[in-house]
Structures are given as structure tokens and as C-alpha cells.
Structure 1
Amino acid sequence: MSYTASRAPCGRASIRIVLLASAMACATPGLAQTVTASIRGTVAHGPNATITAVDVNSGASRSATANAQGSYALPGLRPGTYEITFTAGAATTRQQVTVGVGESSTLDVDVAPPVAAALSGPQIVVTGRRLVETRTSEVGTNVTTQQIQNLPQASRNFLNFAQLAPGVRVSNNPNRKTFSGSGVSQSPNGESLGGPQVNVFIDGVSLKSDIQQGGIVGGDSSKGNPFPQAAVQEFRVISSNYKAEYEDAGTTVISAVTKTGGNEFHGEVFGFDQIDALRSKDYFQKKNAAAGVADDGKFSQKQYGASLGGPIIKDRLHFFVAYEGNEQRNVESVTLGQRTPDNLARFGDKEGSFTSPFREDLGFAKLTLEATEADTIDLSGSIRKEKDTQGFGGQTAYEAGSNIKNTVYTGRLRWQHNKGDFLNEASVDYLYFKFDPTPIEPDTIGQQYNNAIRIGGASTSQKVVQKGFTLRDNVTLSNIDFLGGNHVVKFGGKVAFVDYTVNDAVNANPVFNYNNDPSQNEDFTQPFEALYGVGDPTVHAKDTQVGLFAQDDWKATDKVTFNIGLRWDYESNAKNNSYVTPPDAVAALNALQTTLAAQGGDFRASDYISTGKNRKPFLGAFQPRVGVSFDAFGDQRTVFFAGWGRYYDRTLFRNAAEEQLLRQYTSRSFEFSKDGADRNGQHTIQWNDSYMSKDALDQLIASSNAPAGELRIIRNDVKPPRTDQFSIGVRQKIGRMLNASISYNHVSAQDQIGYYPVNRSVNPNATGFYDFIPVTGFANVVAMTQARASKYDGMYLTIDKPFTKASPWSINIAYTLSFSKERGYDFNFDHPDVAAQPYLPNAGDERHRVVVSGMAQLPLDFQISTLMVFGSGQPYQVIDTRNGTGAGVVIANTGRTKDFRQVDVRLTKDIHLFGHDRTDFQLIAELFNVFNRANFGGYDGYSPTTNASFGTPNDLSGPPRTFQFGARFTF
């Protein structure tokens, strides 16, 4: 019988909450700083001064009036360059400044002219500079348009530049375009159920993946980019203590803003090319060549695109469009794990280098209407479509790969209204995401030879769909004098209506597992296990999400600023609330409780049995966030800051979906042996060669010779994972151009998601193994635990010298000293009692990381830039099998990868056409991994005493030395 999830019924209180948020969304538009910037300051000698800011690109203007003390605020500014006029009586001062996305900058001016100037008329001062945010408790880094366009970049993924911020790491796995922060739930290969707890906003549209991975939609199992880089104006990375307006993230937030058309036509056409002849052979290709293995792979990558923006109606209606294409022919090397003579004789023909074709198309379009001086309306949309062949390489043969389709659509309609000190916005966002992998050879039985190779077809096909509308509403009230200070108050919320579909045909193509273990009488002549899935693999659900926040940026004195906020989030159906635990599962759980209680265990079946009515939405996601900054001398040169906050992420819907999915679609586990005797407390079937087919496995199921598969259960009181963050530091301006900061950051992550087998004995046997407890009708009972937790301590140092026309060179240094440890893993099958485990280093425990970037203008219109990344290596998991593979005791993440080093360089030559700087033809040459460093991403950590391949690398984390050539025409 099939159980289909539906929207869970809400109690009266929950209904009132949703209606309240909906009413707010319809009635009170506002602006979120995730999209914009703000300027705040004091006009000396200018009480009640008039301030007017004009966007030099579009001509749009904003006005404000200073209060009697001269304080003013300009919130909700589109990031860009503004000419700001300060007028007080007959005196006028003008300044041209640039503001960045998400920044709250300070600009103090004095409109009182010198005596001599006062005699001859108003004073006019014109300057040009980028404002630097100093008086904030956030730990944030802005990545500018100049850096995005000019630093070396192999894939045109703007998120790669997130590593310019300390505490942030970008995945170097070419098939996982993700990033992570603060060491929370970090795994070398990613986690399908944990997730790094990050979020990305593009023009305020959240790209959060609600179902799996926990990062951004489309980032899992993808070589592609989330968005056309040509459309990204700039973005901000907030590593710690972000404000209450930011949602659905426990560690790091990225907020990007797109380009907007202006009163003049601007655009570009570009193309980049990488070819195999200009790419060094990587470590594994060289290793295969030395072993006489043929290299059939030829690498190539072509990236191309164009963008155009300009006026439809000058000063009123503007447009911007962008397109990018990406065609790749990648190379993946397949290498045997244990290269014994027997393995080479049986599987040697599977080794080699194979191509992995990939194609991506990205598009973006925006219309901006300046309807009135106070009203701006934006309509925008994006598209991302990918086709890829992957899933092979390392110890996985080409035939075991998959064809993957990845699709993301977004849309947004936003109305912004500015009137004096009142700013508001209303927006409607749409997001559609589909992830659709299918096996290359779906009808070829899969075979996994442990520590040797995986052959045959891929086992699983999937279709994951997330779609929904979000209504957002925020209000900003500026320049409020209260409690002896000046306040900018912001409040608002969202309500989202989301549909989920999870189709996960796990092991629909059977996989037979082999092991070489004389102690268990197992070898490669026959499998010890088969995994095979049957049933209905689809779950649907609907969810309503509500978020409310309020925050106050309180300038208490000229030197002290407080940031005080509170956020609350709610989901109606995060736990698939209408699911009813079937009677056979209820009986099995109650029986298991009795058995474990007799051994001294404390498992309570009622915590996991759902009646369809006893799973209530979590109402406790209150998140206070407090920060303070102290400008020691009142000149923004030395600023001390500190902050503390609580941050809730989401409970990924995949966790709830698989509880239902694994009941209606069962992945059966068939235990085989040579003699049919019990093994580790489990019944086995005496092997027969005729079992090597789907039909034979179906017959074993029909004759009740196979357990009913895994029973997956989640707690009725599941909470969303959360982090508590604390930071303290100082920002220092050195001279006129150099900015530096140092901060200490602590992150404590609680209620993280993991799983453990319930049907294991409470105490280990003589070999250290926790024996299986037979459960009627099921092979295993696997339960969610939220005892998993992590701790992170980081010291961040940044040094920044910006690039300017007057000083045409820049350098940016981000150093991270970090200590990261974790209690428990995503799947804790070796230590069932997760809460009793010690804190151990996790994959985020990279002690030192230095990222250096910079650029310099050279003679004859040449420019050079570089991006250098140095890391001290990260742990990898080591498994001790000295007591037999049944023990499988995880020692810890005691292995440590080789240190990471990559230096990339770009050289460009500008050719000015038609006699002026505005029209350029640019020739570009880039060299990635200049020193051809073999950066390894994975090692064989299995059995340090019995595995000859222990400690050998099995994966790369970054490219070999590669040249890329390109050209760009801009006007």
C-alpha cells in the first residue's frame, strides 16, 4: 500500500501565524538589505540638511533629510556609484562614492565652508571612492565587480571567489560546486542528509536546497555554475554573526546582486578555451601510463557568452540580459584500489581514462522601471539547464556512471517604495529545481569488489523536484531618535508555499558486494551480499514556511553602534507530519524496545511512531542576534566589534521523505555465504550462481528468503539544526589605502542530523562489534539522531588594499587558523550510541589556510592578476579492521591529506578601439596550478594494518597545470 504525503493540517495557532504573515506580505512592502546597501552618517553644521543620492548609472535618485543633530540615513540603495549632494542653507557639498551589496557604510560630511570660501559662495567638494563598512558586528567580505571580472577563473563560477573570505572553503571536487563555513558537518565527499548549512541569495531570491545537501539548489553532483557570472555585479560573504533578516543558514551566507541596465548601452561578448594539448596529465593519468594503461580521454572546455544592458526609456525603463554556455569534455581516470595480480587479471580492462561530456546553458533577464521618484519595479528571471555524464572514476568503472540532468528556474517581481525615512518593498519569488540522474547502463547488474573496483550499471535513478512561491515583505524606518541615540529599524517577513517530489529508486538495479576476508570465509569468487530495491519510489509533499524578523541598528553615540535583532522561523510540514507508521513497523519497534530495555538500553518506540497527528511543527525557532561596535577615535580607523547570535537552518525534507519512501519502496538486503550459517547474528543464504539476476532476487523475496529491508525512522520531535555563534575582533585602517582586521570566531552546532542502527546490542561483543538484533520483517532499523554536534574555533586575519586609478594595484589576504571537531557522523553504524562518542576532528579541521589575490596594471595596457590558495591539509577517516571487518571500528579522522597548494595567474592585454577607453578588445591568457601540484582530495583509509593500499590517494582536488585562452569585447 502506498502512503502519499500531503500538506499537514495546522492547528489554529499555526493558521493564525500563516494568515498574519500573508497579511503583512500583502499590506506592507519593504526592502531587505540582502539586496541593497545603506549609507548613514552625520552632516556637521547641517541640521535639517537635505541629502540627495543619484545613481550615476540609471539616474535614479533618493532623498533624505537630516534631523536637528545632523544625523541622516539612506537605506535601500542599489549597490553602485552615487553622486550625493548635501545641502544646508546656502552651503552644498558633493561626494561621489561607491557602495557594496549588504554593506552599511558611514559617510560623515561637513557643509560649513571655510571663511574665505564663505565670502565667495557655496562650497563644492567632489571626491570619488568606495566606502568601506567598518561599524558593524558582522564578519563579512565584499567581492567586487573588478575582482569577479579580473581574477583568474577556470569555470566562471562566481561562488569560487567566496574563498576570498576567511573561514569559507570552496569544494575543489569538480562534481560538487558547493562551499562551506565554520567546519560544520563537513565531509570530504559531501553529505546527502547533513549539509553544510549555507545559503545563497541572488537579488534576494533564496537558492536554498530544501530537500537534499542543504546548500544551494543544483550544487550537488554538478560541474556547472549556479548563475551566469556576466550577470553578477558583486556579492557579499558573511562568515559570522549576520543579521536577523538572513534566513535558513547556520554558518555562512552569500548575497549577490545582479547588474542593471542604465541610461547608456553597455555589453560584452566573450569566449574562453581550454584544450588537452595545453593541459598537463594529472597524477592518475601518469600513474596509469606508467602501468601501461591506455589513456582514451581528451580534455577540452569552451565557455562563451554575451550580455547587454541599456535604456528602453531614458531615466525610466532599463533592461539587462545575459547568456553563458559551457561545454566540457572532462577526463576521469579509473584505477584499481588493490592492484594485485588477481585483480589486474580480472579487472585490468576496466582501468583507463574516460571522457565525461558536460553541457550547461545559463540565462538571465531583468527589466527595471523607475515608475516615480519614489517607486522602483524590477522584473527578473533566470534559467539553468545542464546535461552531464559522471559518477565514474577512481575505483568506479565508466559503465557504473550516470547521465544527469539539472534544471533551475527562478523569477522575481519586486516593488520598492522610498519616501523620506520610510522604505518598503514587496516581492514575489518563484523557484523551480529538478535533479534527474539515470544510469548509463541500467540493465547491467552492478558488482562492488571492496577495495578493488565497482563494475556494472549504476544502482539508482532519481528525480528530485522543489518548486514554490515566496512572498516577501520588509519595512525600514530610518532616523528615529530614541533613548539618546539614532535608530534604523527594520522588520518584515516571508511566507513560502513549496511543493516537494522525491523519487529515489535506490538499488533498482541490484548491486552484489564482494569482500576478501578469510576470517569470514569471504572472497571474490562469490558475493557476500546483494542490495535490491522494489516498490513505489515516489513521495510528494507540500510545505508552508513562515519567517518573521525585526532588527535595530542603534547608533548610541558617535562611537558606539548596537545591532539588535530577533528572528523566528516556522514550517508546517518539515517532518511529513501526515505520515502514519504502518502496523508491522509499530510492532517491530515495540518489540525492539522490549529487547533493548532488557540489555539496559533506553530506546523508546513511541518517540518514533507517527499517528499522523502527533508530529507538531516546531515553534521554538527564536533567534536573538546581538552585536556592538566601538569606533575608538570616532574616525572609523580603529573599530572594535563583537557579536553573538543563534541561527536555525532547515531540517532537509529528504530525511522525512525517506522514512516513508523506505516503507513503500524497499531496498532489500540479501546476506549470502558459502555455507548458509549465521554471520554476526544475521541469517545468511547459501550462495548459488543462479541468484545473479533480478528475477532470482524477486523469487527469493516471494519465498520470504529475504528480509523486508531497512526500517528508517525519525523522531516525532525533530528540530531544525542550529548554531550559536560568537565573534570578537578589531578593524584597523593603516595609512590611506590599507584595511586590516583580526577576529576570533566560535561556532557551536547542535541538533545536527545523523543516523544510527537501533537493532544492535547495547554492549559490544569480544571483538568490539555490536551484534545485530533480529527484527521481524526487517533487516535493520535505522533511526535519526540529533546527538550529532560540532565545535569550531577560528582566528581570521584579513588585509585589503583596493585597486584604484590613482594606485593601480591591489592585494587581498585572508588567513584562517581553525580547529574543528565533531561528535558523530552522517551514518554512525560502528558506534550506535552517538551521544557517547567523543568529539573528533572532522574534514573541516584544516589548521591553516591562506588565500591571496591581487592585480596590477602594467605598461602598454597589460594587467596581471593572481589567486593563490594554500591549505595545511585536512583529516580523512581511518577504519581499523584488526578485529575483522565485522568490527569496522572507526578510529577517527586521524589521516591527514597532503597540504593544498594552487597558484593561478591571469595576463590580459587591452586594445582600445575607436580611440577611447569605453570600447575595449581584451586578450586573456590564464595559467591554473602554475606549479602542477598534485592536490589530493581523498585517500584509502581502510584497514591500516592489512591493506597494502592504505594511505594512498584515490582522488584529486583541483586541476593539473592548465592553460586557458580567451577574448572579451566590451562597450
Structure 2
Amino acid sequence: MKPRTGIAILGTFFMLAAAGMAQVTTATFYGTVTDASGAILPGVTVTMVHQGTSAKIIKLSDELGEFAFTFLPAGSYTLTIELPGFKTHVSTDFSLGAAQNVRRAFVLEVGGVEEKVTVTGEAPLVNTVTAQQRQDYSKQQVNELPLQNRDFTSLLNSSASVTSSGTNIRMSGMGGAGTRVTVDGTEATAFSEGTGTSQYGSFNKGAGLVSLEAVGEVQINKGILPAEYAATLAGNINVATRSGTNEWHGSLFHNYQGSALNAREQTATTKPQRVFNQFGGSIGGPILKNKMFVFGAFEGYRENGKQVQQANVPTPRLRNAMIAAVPAYRLYVDAVFPFPNQPYDPQGVIGRFIGTAPSRLTDNHEIVRWDTIVSPNSTLTIGASRDRPNQYQYELTMNPIRREGKQDRANVSYVMGHATWTSETRVGYNYSSSNRIDGLVSMRDPLNPNERLLGGRLIPAILGLNLSNATGEVYFIGGATWTAEQKFSKIIGKHSLKFGSIYASRGSGRENISNPQITYASERDLLANIPSGARIGIGQTPFSVYLPELGFFIQDDWRISPKLTINLGLRYDAYGNPVLKPKDKKFPVVLNSFAGIVDPYRFIYGPARPVNKPVDPDYNNFGPRVGFAYNPDGKAKNVIRGGAGVMFAPRNNSVFAQGPGQPGLPNIYVFSGAELVAAGAKYPYYNDDGYNLIQAQKIFSLGMIWNPKYVAPYVMSAYLGIQHEVTPSTVFETAFLGNRGVKFPLLRWFNQVDRVTGLRPNLDLPFEGYYWDSSATTLYSSWQNTLRKRFSRNFSFNLDYVWGKGLSYIGGNAAGWTTGDTSRTAIQDFNNWKINRSPVTGDLTHVVAGDWVYQLPALGNVPVLRQVLGEWQISGIVRASTGESVDVTQLSPGGQTSRPDIIDFKNMYLDNYRTTGLYLNPAAFAAVPVSPVSKNPIRPGTSGFRALRGPGQWNVDLGLGKNFIIHENVRFAFRVDMFNALNHTNLGNPISSIDNREFGKITTTRGARQVQFHGRLSF
């Protein structure tokens, strides 16, 4: 039996028999019931009624007086506790959030069951159940905090332990692939090879993953996660969507931004025109009261305007010299490079261009959710969403780029309960894709339009000399992920058991056509048409690739005493080999590899691996987890929590999706300068030309090689913290969180040309490419502090401070370089990669972040006064941090990654950079001498990867809003939001190429103030 077939059969069996889930979207509520003397009360009837849907769940306390509600949908409940001979206890407005674990003790008074003791109940802020760290954003925070483009991910700016950029959301010192993003507990990443909320290229805005109208709650879960959490190394961000209730409710909204309202960007002389409109609404209510409910939302996004662009372009002197020397250059130069419009040296090589180019963006997002109460203790939920972002903009003002995105998501969940046990079944589907189409791919050889390859006569791009280059391509990335999950929970005495499994198929796919790229080492070589390297795009015909996985878990929350709970868990995950499927049998696509590298100095490879089996299956992944929560006072006022655990994540499909190509050929082939000279190749050198040369060599060629023992990465985490209830609505936590990542992917280039001779170590197989193995490790330590106040007395706030340090070798991400947090140019020396230890991507030493919502008093009972002046909300998000890491580089055209030497460590930074713009001291660095033969630096530089830090930054976003009562059940909300409200100039990172004449200078900022108006009618 094939391994993947066995996995599928086992997965189906355990799904139907006894299994578990990947992420947690429901709450768990534990309780004990005693009488006034402290004697336990078995057989107590405990009822939870959801206040929105009237869904009723009934449990009985056991012989120890214990009861447990598992898989409770998030929301507000009415809790009723009844036992003959005792007064009935009723607790109203008892709110529970997704992934929340709560334990409460209840004391019943002697009396008649018809006598009721009614209180307003709130879940305690102190977690006395698990060592899991949880931060949630309520519906009020979602509605009132200033969120740019109504994007819920702006909330994450108020968490000091989270950073984000591009397609990645990072936490706990891991790259973006370590964070799992889910909606209602099922896979929801907008990038099939990443784990964030952004499409590849980051062009989906506004609604993105979930319309703000449909967001019920946002949770961040990290620390020592219970064993039921799968496929994550750092944590989980989950969005719980809104559901319909017994009352019809809906909304209409419009959101507006315009350039006239915004401040001028600090590096521009004028404000580019920009108009942004966002609009939509929602509707939800009962199909059958107390039985069936529906909720849906639509959100549209339209943006038109211009974007600021900065580029290094040829001076008129160089431009004229290039065309005079090689007339074939003209087609590319005229199509790509504008003339410089900033002061420049007339005899120089590079000038600066700052200008604007048209930009358009549209997006339509729909989401729907259907809830059915099948029986008093069982609920069926069906959800789906659709997103269609499209963008049109320019690269270097001359090369138009069109991006087309898709995301379709669906999930089905069924919760069934009994007095002492509960089960949950969930199935999820998530498809996401993006397609980039560059204008350059429409420009072909004017003398010979006949192509052997698709894209075989695309005009070559010209690279080198620190010019800003446009490199054209058609690039499709997309695929579907399926998950099927099942779990059970059972209370046995003091043990709360959960067990289950998950089967997943994580998919992606590619199609790629790209322009060839010709690199030159100097102006002299450029004018003489002597390339130092060429990158030929053989391309990838359409295919899909998916990775099957199967996981099991068991966990026990053991309540040893009212003061101490121990969390024990074990999960096992099996990861199968990548499964490759061409989308058209006429265009075969295969995944070839050698069995690693036997001699890393001469680059002698192992034997060829079986086709489409570059690595071995990975079945040895056991992740134990242990935690404790000790409540010394027994009153949930203080708790000491801690634990340790091992968490695995699947091998990311981006590592494999780059490899498939034609049999015996890489999809990208790199020629060295010496190889081009030997072949007599000069510009224009087309993809067809390179393909013909490769075919004539009759050599089995690869662009990617895997070590057969490339396995899933895992993290060993440790946590120790103290939580203290300052007031019933305020809690403080201080904690240590650290981890060590093991078996992380390491990416290096194999068989690159020698720095001195310009020749490849292995001339018999003269190709170069990526080499993947599991040699990398990561290390992270942090001190995390939080102070949170739940909304009371018209005020709520969160305040975080984190000191952290993360180290790795190529970024600390468990994914391929297309995901953004993995560098493919980090390693200077293939065999001395351990010297490359450096900050992980997104590493910030100090971060302070927070948010607040304050509502003015109602101002008495005068309706006019209350309507005009009362109950205005003032809210904000603040974030300040030290600088990001910066990688200083040296040009190495067609050769190995290179960095300069640091010759003055004490004076690398200049103190007066805010007035001069010069941040790095050029005198503190020295370029490594260049070989006249290879035209590359003769050795690696002493500067480490990301060894420097950019300037720090701080930002304040403010919101001001008010709800106007139009009718009893109709309200109109008006808001104005200001992002970078104080218009503080946060400087970007400096130019980091030592060969650039502006090396060390800061020429960019992180944006000026933007103003957003928002109106929302709700009923």
C-alpha cells in the first residue's frame, strides 16, 4: 500500500471513529458545586442558555460535584444551577470567548428550588485552568478601535508580542509559517503557501479574510498550547464569525478616504491623488425562532489614485551610451526606465527618480453563516466566504502589473452533547490563489516572434550597477487545503479528557513564465556586452501539489485540588510526501532530486531519487506537552502558570512548489559569466537560446535538491508566568516565554561559481540551484508583560511590553522564500553557514503596544444633550519599538552572496541622521576586493547577516465616534479615524548596498497621517 493511501484510509477511519481538531473555536467552562458547608453536591442540573439563539445545553454534576461544558459557542449565556432542597442559582450575561478556559466554584443556599438567586456573571480574567496565553479582542474593540480599511488585522498592532508584514503574521520569535490563521477554527490563509491574511503580493485590502461586519471576536493563542492544537509552532490567530439570533439585525456602512484629507508623504513634494471607498452591509436573524439562524455580509472596496515610486535609473549619459553601444538595449531601457528627476551627476551612472504612477484596486467580499439547533444538546453550523481582489499598478512607472486574486472558504461543524460527554466534528475547505501578469511579458523579440518555449522570445531584463530593475513574469500561485477533524471530551472524576485526530491535505500549485535576466558587473562590461551571468526562465506549466498529513492527540486537564490543575497532553503527526499532479497531461511536470549532496566542497551529489519522491515520508513526530496552573488563594485572584511542550508543523508546500519542471530540466537555469563567454552569448539572450544550449549539453540538470531526510520542523517551548487580578475588571501578567526551533529548513545555493576563478566546483554537472535540508535551528527568549482592563465604567484598555531576542540563520521561518520571511541570499559560504547566526525576520528587541476605548458619560436625561454631547467614544492604538534588523550587502553579479567588511564597529551609526539623512557611517565599512576574473568579491565579508539595526519607530492611531439613536432599534454610528494621527516621521531603513552612491542614507519613510471617515446604520 502506498504511504499516502494508507494515511488517507487511516484518516477516514479515525474521522468516523474517534478523532480531534486543529484549532479551538469554542469555550470550555468547568465548575464545582457545593453547599454552604463545603460539601460536594452531585446530581446538580446545570443549564447554559445562549442569549442570542436560546440554544440550551444541560449537564449534571458528577459524584465529585464537578461539571464541564465543552465546545460552547462564544457568546453571552444565562447559567442556571438547580437541585431540589436548594435555591436556584441564575447568572446572567455570562460571556465566554472562543478558546477560553474558565473554572468557577458555585455555592448553593438551602431553600426551595423555586427561590432564585440572580446575579450578573462575568468570566474571570485570571486563567486557573491551563498554561495557554490567550488575548481576545471583543466585538466592542472591533467596532470602536481605529482600523485602517476596516481590516481586523490592524488590531494586532496593539499586541507587543505580534509583528506582521506582507503575507506573514509572526509571534514567539518564529517566522510567519509558525502562526496558524483560522476562521471558525478551519484553515483560512489567503496565501496557499503561507499562513497570513494577505494574498501573495499583499494586494487584498479591506475585507480581506473576513468582513468586519461578520467578525464576532478575534483571539490570539500562544504559549504552551494544548495538544489539540495542530500545525502550529508559535500560536494561532482565530476569527470567530457572527451568527444570526432570534432578532433580525442588520447594517449598512460606507468608509471613505481621500488624498485631500491626508498629510503629504514626507519624501514627496506633492500629495498623489487617491480616492478610497468601502461599502457594504449585513443581515442576520431567525429562519425558525429558537431553531435556525442565518447571517450574511457583503463588503466592496474601490480605490483609484496614484502611488509614489522611487527608483535608481540610468543617467542620460549612461542611457545614450548603452543604446549607442548595443542598440538592442533600447527596447528594454525605453520600456522600463524613466529619466531621473532629482539632482544627479551628469557624468555619473545612476540618477534618482521620484514620481507617481496610476494604481487601482477593487475587491468584493461575501460571507454567510447558517446555524441550526438540531436538538437541545447539538448544533450544526455551516459557513462560507468568497473574496475577489484585483489590482492594477506599475513597477518603475513604466511596467504595468495586474494581480488577480481568489479565495473561497467553507466549513461545516457539528457539536453533539450528552450529560457527561461531548463531541465535535468539523470539515474545512480553503482555496486561495493569486496571478501576477506583468506588462513586460507582452514584449517579445521584434525580429523573431517564433517561440520554442512558451515565453521563449520575451525581451531580456538588464540587471546590475544598482539599477532598479523590472523583471517581467506571469506568475500563478494557488491551491486548496482540506481538513477533516473530530474530537471527543469526557469528564471522569477529576480528569477532563479530550482526544481525537485530524486529516489534512495542504495544497498549492504554480504556473510561471518569466523574462530572461542578464546581469552585468560594471559599466565597462555593460557597454562591451559582456554579461557576468544570465537567468533563463524555462518556466513551469500548470500543476498542483499537496501534502497529506494525519494527526492524533490526547490531553487531560487533571484537577488535583481546587488550587492546582495539571495539563498533560501528547500529539502525534504523520506527514506524507508531496503529491504532484499536472493540470494538463500534454505538459508533463515532474519533481526530480538527487539524494542530497555527498561532497559539499566539490558538489558531488547522491544518486537520483525516484521521480516525485524528493524526500522520505516523515512519521516520527511525537509532541508531549505539560502545564500547570496553581491558584494559591483558591479564589482565582492570583495564579502561577507554567509548562513546556513540543509542537510540530508540517513541511511547508512552498519548499516543494518551486521545484517541479520539465523532466531533467529546472524551471530556472543560471549561466555563469564564463559559461556565457564560452557559448558566445550576448544580449539579447532569450529563453529559447538558453534552452537550446541546455538541450545541446545533454546533461540531467536540476534547479533544486533536497536532502532525503528533510523533515518537519518542531519547537521546544517553555513558559512561566504569574497572573494577578488587580480589580475584578483588571488583570496583570508577567511571564517568560522561550523556545528552541529544531530541524528548521535551511536554504543554500549549491555549485555556485568560485569567487576567484569564476568556475563551478562541479564542471561535469554545471548547474546551480537551491539546496534544502533540516539543519537550521532557532532560539528565542522573551519577557512579556500585559495589563488589561475589561470594559467597565466606560473605559477599557490593553497595555503590553515585550523584551525579546530571536536568532536563526536565514530568517527563522519554516517555509520557502516565497513566503517572505525566509532569505535565499543569507548564506555567504555554503560550508560555513553556522557563522550566519542572526536575528530572525521581524525581530524587535523592545516593543510597547496597547489600545484603549473610552466612552463619555451620557450627560443626564436630557435627550438633546445626550444625543449631541453624550457617549462619544475616544479610542486609539499605540505602538513603539526599537529598530528592525538591516542586512548590508555588496554586489556579487552572477556569484555568491557577498557582504562588506565592518572595520569600525563602534562608529557604524551616525547620531545626526535625522538632520543629515545619513544613518550609517560609510567610513565604518569597506568593500571586499573584487576578483578581476570572476568579477565577484574574493571572499565573504565580515559583516553578518542582518547585523545592523534600523531606526526605531512609534505611532499613534486615534478614533473618535458616536452612536446616534434614530429609533428604538435603529442607530447611526459616525467615526473619524486618523492613522499616524500625530504625523510623526517614522524613517525607513537605510540604503544597505555598499556599492550604491547613497549607501547608508535613509530615503524613505513609513507613511504620513491618513484620515478615514466612516458611517454605519444598524438596525
Q: 2:981 pairs with 924, 930, 944, which one?
A: 930
Deviation at 1:901, TM superposition (A): 1.2
Q: Are residue 652 (structure 1) and residue 656 (structure 2) matched?
A: no
1:364-513 map, 5 Å: 364-390=367-393, 392=395, 397-444=396-443, 445=459, 447-450=461-464, 452-456=466-470, 458-478=471-491, 480-481=492-493, 486-497=494-505, 500-505=508-513, 508-513=514-519
CA distance in 2, matches of 1:787, 1:621: 17
1:60 and 2:55 correspond: yes
Distance change (3 Å), C-alpha of 1:748 and 1:872: same
1:464–1:501 contact (8 Å) kept in structure 2: yes
Spell out the pairing of 1:260-275 with structure 2 (5 A cutoff).
260-275=243-258
Cα deviation, residue 78, structure 1: 0.7
Match of 1:883 among 924, 929, 949: 929
Give unmatched runs, 5+ long, in structure 2.
Answer: 36-40, 321-336, 341-352, 444-458, 583-587, 812-822, 858-869, 890-899, 901-926, 931-935
> What displacement does 1:582 show?
9.5
Cα separation, partners in 2 of 1:690 and 1:106, compared to 1, 3 Å = closer
Q: For 1:473-872, list aligned pairs within 5 A.
A: 473-478=486-491, 480-481=492-493, 486-497=494-505, 500-505=508-513, 508-516=514-522, 527-534=531-538, 536-574=540-578, 593=598, 605-606=605-606, 609-610=609-610, 615-661=615-661, 663-672=664-673, 678=674, 684=677, 691=684, 711-759=703-751, 772-804=760-792, 807-824=793-810, 826-827=823-824, 828-833=826-831, 835-859=833-857, 860-872=870-882
Within a 5 Å distance, the mapping from 1:90-129 to structure 2 comes to 90-96=86-92, 97-112=94-109, 118=111, 122-129=115-122
How far did residue 573 of structure 1 move? Answer: 2.3
* Equivalent-residue separation in structure 1 for 2:687 and 2:19 (angstroms): 58
For 1:76-99, what per-residue CA distance to the aligned partner results, in whole angstroms no more than 9, with x for missing partners? 111010010111223111112101
AA aligned opposite 1:512: I
TM superposition shift of 1:660:
2.9
Give, in angstroms, the shift of residue 615 of structure 1: 4.2
Partner of 2:958: 905
Unpaired segments ≥5 residues, structure 1: 1-8, 186-194, 290-294, 673-677
For residues 889-947 of structure 1, what are the alpha-carbon distances to aligned partners after superposition, in whole Å with 9 as ceiling and x for unaligned?
A: 35331221221211111101221012x3x42111111111012223345432112xx53
Match of 1:149 among 143, 147, 170: 143
1:549 CA drift (Å): 1.2
**2:313 touches 2:468 (CA, 8 Å); kept in 1?**
no
- Give the alignment of 1:176-325 within 5 angstroms: 176-185=166-175, 195-208=176-189, 212-215=193-196, 218=199, 220-224=201-205, 225-286=208-269, 297-325=272-300
Aligned to 1:967: 1015
Shift of 1:58: 0.3
Residues 126 and 781 (structure 1), Cα distance of their counterparts in 2 relative to 1, 3 Å cut: closer
Q: Deviations over 1:403-423 (max 9, x none)?
A: 111111111222211111211
Structure 2 Cα separation of the partners of residues 548 and 98 of structure 1 = 31
Task: Using the TM superposition, name which of 333-342 and 93-102 deviates more.
Answer: 333-342
Please report how far the alpha carbon of residue 639 of structure 1 lies from its aligned counterpart in structure 2 after TM superposition. 0.4
Relative to the length of structure 2, the TM-score reads 0.82
Do 1:608 and 1:715's aligned partners in 2 also have CA atoms closer than 8 Å? Answer: no
Q: Tell me how far 1:614 sits from its aligned partner.
A: 8.2
CA distance in 1, matches of 2:1005, 2:759: 37
CA contact (8 A) 2:125 2:725 kept: no
Q: Shift of residue 256 of structure 1?
A: 2.0
Which residue in 2 is equivalent to 1:6? none
How far off is 1:300 after superposition?
Answer: 2.2
Q: CA deviation at 1:529?
A: 3.1
1:630 partner amino acid: Y
Shift of 1:866: 0.5
SS of structure 2 residue aligned to 1:642: strand
Tell me, in whole angstroms, the C-alpha distance in 2 between the residues paired with 1:756 and 1:385: 36
* Separation (CA, whole Å) in 1 of partners of 2:751 and 2:20: 53
**Conserved 8 A contact 1:178-1:219:** no
CA contact (8 A) 2:391 2:402 kept: yes
Deviations 1:98-140 (A, max 9, x none): 0111001122221125xxxx59973412214344251220122
Query: What RMSD, in angstroms, separates the aligned Cα atoms of the two structures?
Result: 3.2
Give the SS at the match of 1:283.
coil
SS in 2 for 1:272: strand
2: CA distance between counterparts of 1:720 and 1:737? 42
User: Greater CA deviation, 371-380 or 397-406?
Assistant: 397-406
Q: Distance in 1 between matches of 2:679 and 2:10?
A: 63
* Paired position in structure 1 for 2:70: 75
Instruction: Tell me if structure 2 keeps the 8 A contact 1:207–1:217.
Output: no
Distance 1:543 1:84 in 2: 44
Residue deviations 1:818-852 (CA, integer Å, cap 9, x gap) = 11111245324512125532522233331111112
Q: Identify the residue that residue 948 of structure 1 maps to in structure 2.
A: 997
The answer on whether the counterparts of 2:591 and 2:659 sit within 8 Å (CA) in structure 1 is no
* Contact 1:338 1:949 (8 Å CA) reproduced: no
Distance 1:770 1:636 in 2: 69
Map 1:13-32 onto structure 2 (within 5 A): 17-28=7-18
The amino acid of 1:758's aligned partner reads F
Q: How does 1:135-174 map to 2 (within 5 A)?
A: 135=128, 136-171=130-165
Deviations 1:244-298 (A, max 9, x none): 1111111121122111101001111111100011112213324xx6xxxxx7x41
CA gap of 1:391–1:137, structure 2 versus 1, over 3 A, is farther
**1:398 counterpart SS class:** coil
Check conservation: 1:165, 1:237, Cα contact below 8 A: no
Give the Cα–Cα distance (whole angstroms) in 1 for the partners of residues 579 and 178 of structure 2.
18
Q: Which amino acid aligns with 1:509?
A: N
1:949 CA displacement: 1.5
2:946 to 893, 911, 916: 893
Q: Distance in 2 between matches of 1:250 and 1:796?
A: 18
Structure 1 residue 337, shift from structure 2 partner = 3.8
- Cα distance in 2 for partners of 1:576, 1:692 equals 32
1:624: how far off?
1.1
Paired position in structure 2 for 1:919: 970
Cα displacement string for residues 46-70 of structure 1 (whole angstroms, at most 9, x for unaligned residues): 4322110100100001111112332
Q: Deviation string for 1:290-325 (max 9, x for gaps)?
A: xxxxx7x41222111111110111000111001111
The answer to whether the Cα contact below 8 Å between 2:536 and 2:686 also exists between their aligned partners in 1 is no
Query: Does structure 1 retain, via aligned residues, the 8 Å contact 2:627–2:641?
Result: yes
Per-residue Cα deviation, 1:357-376 (whole angstroms, up to 9, x for no partner) = 11111111111111211221
When normalised by structure 1's length, the TM-score is 0.85
SS of equivalent to 2:440:
coil
1:181–1:196 contact (8 Å) kept in structure 2: no
Question: CA offsets per residue over residues 661-719 of structure 1, 9 Å max, x none?
Answer: 375453233445xxxxx4xxx66358777625566656666776x99875311111210
Change (3 A) 1:435 1:624: same
* Equivalent position amino acid for 1:464 in 2: I
